[in-house]
Amino acid sequence: MAIEARIRELGVRHQTLERAIEDEMSRPAADATRLTELKRRKLRLKEEMESLKTRAH
């Protein structure tokens, strides 16, 4: 049960980062460094979620 809760928590954080990326990309002068960092963090969350899903099954 704890793994599923962690996956949900990471999913929420993943969606928050997705919105931040979309917001940054919609700006006229998007900060490429910030975008790269946000995308990197989002990828790490996705990888952690996939790892947890594998362990849960």
Q: Is the pLDDT of residue 23 over 90?
A: yes
Residues 3 and 56: beta-carbon distance below 8 Å: yes
Longest dimension (CA), the chain: 44
**d(C-alpha 23, C-alpha 15), whole Å:** 12
Q: What is the mean pLDDT of residues 32-54?
A: 97
The fraction of the chain above a pLDDT of 70, given in percent, is 98
Identify residue 47 by its one-letter amino acid code.
Answer: E
Give the residue extent of every domain in the chain: 2-56
